[in-house]
């Protein structure tokens, strides 16, 4: 319960700090975190630890803190690296945290994904992945291949090129039409429980869009198996097989944005184990939620294509590339993950979410309840009343951050059964509170 945030700091925050996706002139309420440990946060509405409430974090700090907070081994990894050095440039220099992380990523990701670029955030990783694809196409003599094919309902980040492959309607970046490069959108894949006929119909539509634009398409970019911030939408693996086939037939590279799905969240360490992409983006849980870091992993063939382009090099190199603190904690996070039975953990959490949320399906105003891996989603008929839902969730003992028409959870893997049940109770409370507030 250290790190008290006095009242005047909350007032200063309100006056001067932008929070994600908020207004400067009419900011939404924020709560002060005055402590965090395991799967739990202490939240204070006044800023004083004295009235802080202890809640289970149902969001894993936007899907990143898979091992929870103040994990002894992750804490130690950062401290040890601080005592060596915190940062050095990566241009012309290297260090053991980056090399050890690179080795772990080459080993853990599917066969053939062997060439690693360390980026500073998920959005930057997507920028780099798209740049790799474009440079590869130039290198293999197809400079006219300059556009990307994606599906509706996706989300790939908030910088400009990732925004341009994020769903333009209903998504977060609709106002930028005319400013962003225009890419090609195929229909959203069908629901995860769709039958073969529905998948086939989608495949036909996807192929038609790809065929029409084949001459100008450099690659396909999608979130595999589960679309996250675009609507928490799981879809059949058969759709990924179709994308792989289409990419091969039409000379495109396939990019999987696993920034949200990576590291076990869907029940697979990486969805790329089911269908192999040419370029894989990782982020969010890479450092166990400790520091900002992302990675783009690709094949030898793509690397060769890039090297054959005009510049001969991959033209990207952020100031904080390969930050040693971030790499050191990522290495330890991967060790913690792979040396525990994360598969059983994800199944246990997912099973409890599925059982606990099932009864909400019959509640008037609820459109759908769906789960995949350690993700539980309740979709309402209307937009969620975020304030009513958040207040109710906290009163029920959990931190949730609903968006659009969704109340959902992606719990840290360290949640006990009781903590998962608290999250389930909070989703029930948030759903009911939102339905009452919007009735
Ligand atoms: C969060 C997210 C991003 C963006 O990552 P940042 O680190 O926020 O820039 C990109 N793609 C997907 C699928 C994400 O979930």
Give Cα separations from 30 to 22, 172, 379, 390 (angstroms). 11, 21, 24, 11
pLDDT category, 1, cuts 50, 70, 90? very low
Rounded to the nearest angstrom, the distance between the alpha carbon of 157 and the centre of ligand 1 is: 5
Task: Please say if 169 is a catalytic residue.
Answer: no
Q: What is the mean pLDDT of the chain?
A: 96
Taking the mean position of all CA atoms in its chain, how far away is CA 417?
Answer: 24
Model pLDDT, residue 174: 73
Our answer on whether the CB atom of 231 is closer than 6 Å to any ligand 1 atom is no
pLDDT in tens, 363-406: 999 999 999 999 999 999 999 999 999 999 999 999 999 999 99
62 annotated as ligand-binding? yes
Our answer on whether the CB atom of 260 is closer than 6 Å to any ligand 1 atom is yes
Question: Has residue 432 got a pLDDT over 70?
Answer: yes
Model pLDDT, residue 439: 87
Mean pLDDT throughout 132-156?
Answer: 97
State how far the Cα of 208 lies from the Cα of 186, in Å rounded to an integer. 9
122 annotated as ligand-binding? yes
**Are 377 and 408 in contact, with CB atoms under 8 Å apart?**
yes
Our answer on whether the CB atom of 126 is closer than 6 Å to any ligand 1 atom is yes
β-pairing, 147-151 with 226-227?
Answer: unpaired
HSE (CB half, 13 Å, CA atoms) of 125?
A: 31
Model pLDDT, residue 261: 98
To test the pocket of ligand 1, the residue of 150, 157, 375, 401 to mutate (highest count of ligand atoms within 8 Å of its CB) is 157
Buried residues in 305-334 as b, exposed as e (16+ CB within 10 A) = bbeebeeeebeeebebbbbbbbbbbbbbbb
State how far the Cα of 396 lies from the Cα of 424, in Å rounded to an integer. 9
State how far the Cα of 125 lies from the Cα of 104, in Å rounded to an integer. 18
pLDDT category, 6, cuts 50, 70, 90? low
Residue 5 or 69, more confident: 69
pLDDT category, 5, cuts 50, 70, 90? low
The one catalytic residue among 57, 284, 290, 385? 284
257 annotated as ligand-binding? yes
pLDDT in tens, 78-134: 999 999 999 999 999 999 999 999 999 999 999 999 999 999 999 999 999 999 999
State how far the Cα of 219 lies from the Cα of 253, in Å rounded to an integer. 4
Our answer on whether the CB atom of 223 is closer than 6 Å to any ligand 1 atom is yes
Rounded to the nearest angstrom, the distance between the alpha carbon of 123 and the centre of ligand 1 is: 6
Rounded to the nearest angstrom, the distance between the alpha carbon of 271 and the centre of ligand 1 is: 16
pLDDT in tens, 182-204: 999 999 999 999 999 999 999 99
pLDDT in tens, 299-342: 999 999 999 999 999 999 999 999 999 999 999 999 999 999 99
pLDDT in tens, 51-70: 999 999 999 999 999 999 99
Our answer on whether the CB atom of 228 is closer than 6 Å to any ligand 1 atom is yes
Our answer on whether the CB atom of 229 is closer than 6 Å to any ligand 1 atom is yes
């Amino acid at each position: 319960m250290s790190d008290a945030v006095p009242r005047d700091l909350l007032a200063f925050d309100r006056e001067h700090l932008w929070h994600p996706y908020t207004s400067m002139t009419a900011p939404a309420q924020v709560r002060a975190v005055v402590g965090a440990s395991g799967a739990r946060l202490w939240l204070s509405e006044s800023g004083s630890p004295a009235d802080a409430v202890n809640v289970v974090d149902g969001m894993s700090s936007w899907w990143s803190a898979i091992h929870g907070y103040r994990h002894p081994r992750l804490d130690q990894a950062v401290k040890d690296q601080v005592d060596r050095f915190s940062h050095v440039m990566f241009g012309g220099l290297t260090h053991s945290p980056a090399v050890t992380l690179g080795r772990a990523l080459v080993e853990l990701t599917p066969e053939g994904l062997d060439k690693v670029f360390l980026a500073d955030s998920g959005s930057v990783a997507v920028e780099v992945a798209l740049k790799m694809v474009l440079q590869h196409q130039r290198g293999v003599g197809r400079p006219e291949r300059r556009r990307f094919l994606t599906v509706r309902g996706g989300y790939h980040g908030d910088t400009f090129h990732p925004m341009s492959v994020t769903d333009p309607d209903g998504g977060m970046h609709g106002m930028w039409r005319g400013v962003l490069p225009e890419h090609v959108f195929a229909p959203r894949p069908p629901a995860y429980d769709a039958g073969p006929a529905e998948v086939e119909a989608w495949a036909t539509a996807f192929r038609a869009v790809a065929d029409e634009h084949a001459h100008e398409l450099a690659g396909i970019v999608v979130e595999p198996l589960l679309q996250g911030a675009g609507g928490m939408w799981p879809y059949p693996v058969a759709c990924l097989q179709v994308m792989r086939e289409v990419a091969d037939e039409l000379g495109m590279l396939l990019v999987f944005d696993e920034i949200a799905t990576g590291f076990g969240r869907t029940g697979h360490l990486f969805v790329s184990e089911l269908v192999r992409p040419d370029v894989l983006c990782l982020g969010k849980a890479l450092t166990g939620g400790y520091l900002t870091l992302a990675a783009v992993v690709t094949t030898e063939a793509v690397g060769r294509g890039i090297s054959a382009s005009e510049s001969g090099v991959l033209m990207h190199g952020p100031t904080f590339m390969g930050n040693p603190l971030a790499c050191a904690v990522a290495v330890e996070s991967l060790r913690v993950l792979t040396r525990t039975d994360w598969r059983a953990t994800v199944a246990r959490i997912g099973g409890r979410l599925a059982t606990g949320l099932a009864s909400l399906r019959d509640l008037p105003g609820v459109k759908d309840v769906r789960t995949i891996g350690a993700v539980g989603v309740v979709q309402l008929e209307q937009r969620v009343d975020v304030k009513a839902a958040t207040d109710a969730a906290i009163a029920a003992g959990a931190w949730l951050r609903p968006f659009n028409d969704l109340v959902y959870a992606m719990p840290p893997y360290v949640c006990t059964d009781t903590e998962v049940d608290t999250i389930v109770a909070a989703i029930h409370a948030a759903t009911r509170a939102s339905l009452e507030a919007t009735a």
